[in-house]
Amino acid sequence: MNDLTDLHEDLRNGVRQLCATFPDEYWRKLDADTAYPTEFVKAMTAAGYLAALIPEEYGGIGVGLTEASIILEEIHRSGGNAAACHAQMYIMGTLLRHGSAEQKAQYLPKIASGELRLQAFGVTEPDAGTDTTSLRTRAVRDGDSYIVNGQKIWTSRAEHSDLMMLLARTTPKEEVEKRTHGLSVFLIDLKSAVGQGVTIEPIETMMNHQTTQVYFDNLRIPADSLIGEEGMGFRYILDGMNAERALIAAECIGDGYWFVERAKNYASEREVFGRPIGQNQGIQFPIAQAYIHIRAADLMRYEACRLFDSGQACGAEANMSKLLAADASWEAANVAVQTYGGFGFAAEYDVERKFRETRLYQVAPISTNLILSYVAQHVLKMPRSF
Ligand SMILES: Cc1cc2nc3c(=O)[nH]c(=O)nc-3n(C[C@H](O)[C@H](O)[C@H](O)COP(=O)(O)OP(=O)(O)OC[C@H]3O[C@@H](n4cnc5c(N)ncnc54)[C@H](O)[C@@H]3O)c2cc1C
C-alpha cells in the first residue's frame, strides 16, 4: 500500500512539475489561436506519461488506470487540458487486449517513443452519436483489403494523429441477430490515408478541441488493420469506454480542484465594501459545497479505477464517476465565474476558458441522460427505455 501511495505521489509531483512549465499563458494563447499543444504533447510523451498504460516490454511505464487517471487529473488541475492527448490512454485498451502479437509489436514501441501518435478515435457519425450501433460507415472485405466508405463526425485530433482507431460496420444491421454484432475495429494509418480516400475537415467549437469530420471514400486498407475478430468490435470498444469514463472523471476532478483553488484565492484577495469578499458566507458556502462534491466524486473515480485495474466489472462505477465528476466540475466552474464577478468573463483570468472546456463533459463522451438511463436499466433493473 505504501509503495503504491509513493508511486502515486511521485507521478503527481512529476506531472505537476512538467505542467508548471506550461503556464496559463501557454493554454490561453493556444485557445486564442485554436492551436494544438504540440510542445506540451511532446514533453508529456518524452517523459513517458502518455505511454503509462503500455507494458514495459513495449517501452511504456506499464501502470494501471488509476495511475493514468492521476496523470490526466494533474494536467487539468494545473490549468491545462488533456483533451489534446487523452485518447492515447483510453484507446490503448482495445489494442492491448484484442490486438494481435504482430500489431502490438508493430505499433506499441513506436507509440511509446512518440514516433507515432494514436490520438484519433472514430466512432460517432452525424446520424449515430448516442445510438452507436446505428452507425453506417462500412468496411467491406475485398481480397487482402477492406474498402471503407462513410463519414465520421467529432473525430478529435484527427489532424494531429498518425493512427486512427475506427469502428465500422462489416455486416449491415439488418443482417445481424443483435444490433451490437457486425461492427469491427480497425487501426488505420491515417497519415498515409489522407488524400487516398480520407478527407479531414476541422469543426469550429466553443473551446479549443481540435475536432473534425472525417470522410471515407473508397479507402483501401490492408485486411490486417482489423483488430481482433470481425464483427466483435462493439464489445472491444465497450471495455475501452469504461476506461474512458473513469479517465474523463479524473479530468473533471482536476478541473474542479482548479476552479475551487482559483475561486478561494480570488475571494480571499478581492476587497469589496472594504473587506475580502471571501469573508461573506454567501461567497464561501458555494465554494465549500463545490469542493465537497468534487471530493465525493473523487471517491467514485478511485473505486471505478480500482475495479477496472483488478479486472472486475466496473460499468456502473465508471458511468457514475463520470456523471458525478462532470456535475461537480460544472458546479465549480459556475461558482468560480460567480466569485470572480465581471473578471470571470475576462480571458486573462482563464476561468472563462476552463468554464467552456469543462462544459463539454456533460455531453461527451457520453451524455448525462445516457448515464442516468444506464443506471436505471442496468443497475436498478427498471424497464428498458430504448
Ligand atoms: C468536442 C467533442 C469532441 C468529441 N470527440 C469525439 C471523438 O474523438 N470520437 C468520437 O467518436 N466521438 C466524439 N464526440 C462525440 C460524442 O461522443 C457525442 O457528441 C455524444 O456521444 C452525443 O452524441 P450526439 O452529439 O450525436 O447527440 P445525440 O445522440 O443526437 O443526442 C442529443 C441529445 O439527446 C439526448 N438523448 C438521446 N437519446 C436519448 C434518450 N433515449 N433519452 C434521453 N436523452 C437522450 C443525448 O443525451 C443528447 O444530450 C465528441 C463530441 C464533441 C462535442
Q: What is the pLDDT of residues 305-352, one digit of tens each?
A: 999 999 999 999 999 999 999 999 999 999 999 999 999 999 999 999
Secondary structure percentages of the chain, helix, strand, coil, to 5: 60, 15, 25
Q: Is the pLDDT of residue 2 over 80?
A: no
* Ligand 1 in reach of 370 Cβ (< 6 A): yes
> What residue owns the CA closest to ligand 1's atom 50?
154
Q: pLDDT of 135-165, one tens digit each? A: 999 999 999 999 999 999 999 999 999 999 9
Are 200 and 212 within 8 A, CB to CB? yes
Centroid of ligand 1 to alpha carbon of 367 (angstroms)? 6
Query: Percent of the chain beyond pLDDT 70?
Result: 100
CA distance 57 to 358: 36
For residue 150, list its beta bridge partners: 216
Q: For the chain, what's the residue count?
A: 386
Beta carbons within 8 Å of 353's beta carbon, 6+ residues apart: 27, 28, 31, 207, 347
95-130: pLDDT as tens digits? 999 999 999 999 999 999 999 999 999 999 999 999
Q: Is 148 exposed, middle or buried (0-12, 13-18, 19+ CB in 10 A)?
A: buried
Residue whose Cα lies nearest atom 13 of ligand 1: it is 154
Asked if 225 and 47 count as a contact pair (C-beta separation under 8 A), the reply is: no
Ligand 1 neighbourhood includes 386 CB (under 6 angstroms) = yes
* pLDDT for res 137: 98
Does the beta carbon of 209 lie inside 6 Å of ligand 1? yes
pLDDT at 150: 98
pLDDT at 223 over 70: yes
Look over the chain and give the mean of its residue pLDDT values, rounded to a whole number: 97
Distance CA 246, CA 308 (A): 9
CA of 370 to the centre of ligand 1 (A): 9
Distance (Å, rounded) from C-alpha 356 to C-alpha 83?
13
Span 82-92, mean pLDDT? 92
Domains present along the chain, CATH in parentheses: 2-117 (1.10.540.10), 119-232 (2.40.110.10), 235-379 (1.20.140.10)
Phi, psi of 216 (to 5 degrees): -115, 120
Ligand 1 within 6 A of CB of 207: no
Contacts of 381 (CB under 8 A, 6+ apart): none
Contact 8, 67 (CB under 8 A): yes
Q: To the nearest 10°, report the CA torsion of 289, 290, 295, 299.
A: 110
Closest Cα to atom 48, ligand 1: which residue?
A: 367
Residue 132 alpha carbon to ligand 1 centre in Å: 9
Whole-angstrom CA distances from 10 to 67, 85, 118, 239 are 10, 21, 26, 28
Amino acid sitting at position 302: Y
For residue 365, give the C-alpha cell.
463522451
pLDDT digit string, tens, across residues 243-258? 999 999 999 999 999 9
Q: Which three cell numbers stand for residue 344?
A: 470571470
- Whether ligand 1 lies within 6 angstroms of the CB of 291 is answered as no
pLDDT digits (tens, 9 = 90+) for 167-201: 999 999 999 999 999 999 999 999 999 999 999 99
pTM above 0.85?
yes
What are the distances in angstroms from CA 273 to CA 276, 278, 309, 340, 342?
8, 12, 52, 15, 16
| Protein residue closest via CA to atom 30 of ligand 1 | 129
Helices (H), the chain: 2-20, 24-33, 38-46, 65-77, 87-98, 101-113, 190-193, 233-269, 281-309, 315-340, 351-359, 368-374
Q: How big is the CA angle at 106 (ends 103 and 109), to the nearest 5 degrees?
A: 120
Q: Is the pLDDT of residue 1 over 70?
A: no
d(CA 226, CA 168): 10
Distance CA 315, CA 300 (A): 12
Pairing, β 118-122 against β 163-169: parallel
- Rounded Cα gap, residues 245 and 305, in angstroms: 10
| Mean pLDDT on 296-305 | 98
